[in-house]
Chain A
């Protein structure tokens, strides 16, 4: 029998003896009295000791969140307290966010985890309060002024467990901050608490293993350069089999005009690889002078979910490589948090990238002044510009077998304000596109439920709960408009939305935007196309439809 099935005696004990929110046992108590319970499906495995050792991170050991004793290091309270103190000094934003909340509750029902679980500690205001309550207790001046009203509490091991649970039920999507009248960015509070937890070795392997791999080999899975090249060449062969066109990617080529960096999920994961095939076709179509690095072989930056220093280091790698190869600027693929790091943090962390040029599209001559500081252009913006200047030969009928909707990836939408460019591209490469309800898209987009390193298999139930609001919005367009294709521009979305759709909306598949671009591109010298990049039959092209008709 599965180890997940509780024994009858355990069930009885649970019902009879344990206090429960359901029985009203906590109705008159404070929120922090409600116990934290780690069950299968609501937590991620902790970082492996060897991963921590590789990174030089604190307290490597074997442990589980379900253990009673988390084997915290000696003096852990002081480590946390000093860590908080130093971060309050370093980041004015953190102090501001901790001090300025008036608990108006505008954020409460905006969090997808709260909407999917009903758990009050998933209200962004309460999640932040998990830290604020300790902050008030530890910093006497605030405590003195607000004596008796401050809702402060002592830092105990139970608090650490609570932090671990709830700051890993926040995907740093920032939907709550859109609604906060003070503009408090709860994602940054989550980032700070995760950073503090890492100081005492309370962590998540799904985040730290990719960080360690990226630190060593340049990408999340630790794919080494020769394998990285083989993977992309294998995809290029697929493209040639399907279209008859040799896309000829180059690697680590010094003197190329553009360095192309995308999440490594596009190189080895399904369905990301089809998006990669789309990029390759696009670059061939316009004759772009680009190269792919096997060292800066990852757009994603899990350092953002770990610590500021780690984020900085992993981000710097992309710029070091751009310098080494002597390119003019960087073109970035469809990724989520890579863009938040580049757009919001890069310039003060590693910038300015003076050795690069302000990006100019070699095809249209458009100068991307919005990327003047970072020298890095988002591919949706790049492609939208190509389409606007009529530089692509597209046949949107080739996507007629798909009825699409578009999921705004949190970090691209809220992190860099890009809403229209991907939609413009999508409308030009397919004929059937329907928007999800207004309060679930653009700046109010609902997260996939698995962002910020929560995409671990063992966390599946949590992810399904957190992703429910997004899935529910997809269901509406599925029912109303028979939508069967969810298009997105983020690698984590491409990894996490397929199971979310399979669970909540069977029959809906997930696509990268540039996969559809790749389907629609009419390439010079191509063979008759009958199937899309996934080798699915295209409607109306069963016998090799003619695009010239």
Chain B
């Protein structure tokens, strides 16, 4: 029952939420990333998959979540700021709920379910973000080894 509400709301307002969400993601970049850049197009695609995934109640958005955090994890943006975008749909939905007639019928319980769903998404994003950060450091180590490939091989290290 609780999740059905979430799906219906997300589905009904998908376009506006997606637009605002993308807007705030692009706003993270120094001079707001342009819509036609590869970064914007990739974010737009991935955010839509995430939103659809949340709407359908299936967790098939993991890969798209990875794609978003992969971009964010190498930017000069603080992790806290970068991951804050995953909390934003919560606020957008709250606004929508207040404006729509269904708002009156919203129970406290349903609203809490909304909030916890996006809190969970943010935590999932944190896991994914950290994996990418660790990957960066792993790449640094591997690169050093690759560059010295022959020396290491001949030294049988």
Binding site for B on A (CB under 8 A): 6, 11, 14, 21-22, 34, 37, 39, 41-42, 109, 115-120, 221, 230-231, 234, 265, 267-271, 273, 457-458, 460-461, 464-465, 468-469, 472, 495, 498-499, 502-504
Contacts and interface: CB of A to CB of B under 8 A. Distances in A.
B154 A231 contact: yes
Interface string B128-139: 000010011001
Contact of A118 (B32, B42, B142): B32
Contact of A39 (B37, B71, B76): B76
Interface stretch (B7-15, B22-30, B90-98, B114-122): B22-30
Contacts of B74: 41, 460-461, 464-465, 503
B81 A457 contact: no
B157 interface: no
Nearest to B154: A234
A503 B30 contact: no
Contacts of B153: 234
Q: Which of B26, B32, B70, B147 has the most CB of A within 10 A?
A: B147
Contacts of A14: 78
Nearest to A455: B143
A151 B33 CA distance: 25
Q: Which of B37, B81, B132, B154 has the most CB of A within 10 A?
A: B37
B34 interface: yes
Interface string B21-51: 0000011111111101111001000000000
A14 B144 CA distance: 33
A499 B143 contact: yes
Given A268-B150, A269-B146, A464 B38 contact: no
Nearest to A504: B70
Contacts of A234: 150, 153-154
Nearest to B150: A268
Interface in B75-118: 75-76, 78, 80-81
Given A11-B78, A231-B154, A461-B74, A273 B149 contact: yes
A215 B37 CA distance: 41
A498 B139 CA distance: 9
Contacts of A472: 38, 42
A101 B136 CA distance: 38
Nearest to B28: A22
Given A115-B38, A115-B39, A468-B39, A495 B150 contact: no
Interface pairs A-B: 8 shortest CB-CB: A118-B29, A270-B149, A268-B150, A118-B33, A464-B74, A499-B139, A457-B140, A472-B38
10 contacts: A39-B76, A117-B30, A117-B75, A234-B150, A268-B148, A460-B136, A460-B140, A465-B75, A472-B38, A495-B147
B151 interface: yes
Contacts of A464: 74, 136
B146 A270 contact: yes
Contacts of A265: 147
B133 to A, nearest CB: 9
A290 B151 CA distance: 26
A267 B147 CA distance: 10
Contact of B34 (A34, A109, A498): A109
A499 B144 CA distance: 11
A36 to B, nearest CB: 11
Contacts of A469: 38
A118 B150 contact: no
Nearest to B42: A472
A457 B143 contact: yes
Contacts of B143: 457, 460, 495, 498-499
B136 A503 contact: yes
A221 B135 CA distance: 26
B143 to A, nearest CB: 5
A14 B148 CA distance: 39
A504 B39 CA distance: 12
A265 B150 CA distance: 10
Contacts of A468: 38-39, 71
B150 A231 contact: yes
A14 B71 CA distance: 22
Nearest to B136: A460
Contacts of A273: 149-150
B30 A119 contact: yes
Q: Which of A37, A118, A221, A465 has the most CB of B within 10 A?
A: A118
Given A231-B150, A234-B150, A269-B149, A502 B139 contact: yes
Contacts of B39: 115-116, 118, 468
A495 B81 CA distance: 32
Nearest to B146: A270
Given A230-B154, A472-B38, 9 more contacts: A42-B76, A115-B37, A115-B39, A116-B39, A118-B34, A234-B150, A271-B146, A464-B74, A495-B143
A503 B71 CA distance: 10
A507 to B, nearest CB: 13
A230 B144 CA distance: 21
B156 to A, nearest CB: 12
B31 A21 contact: yes
B68 to A, nearest CB: 13
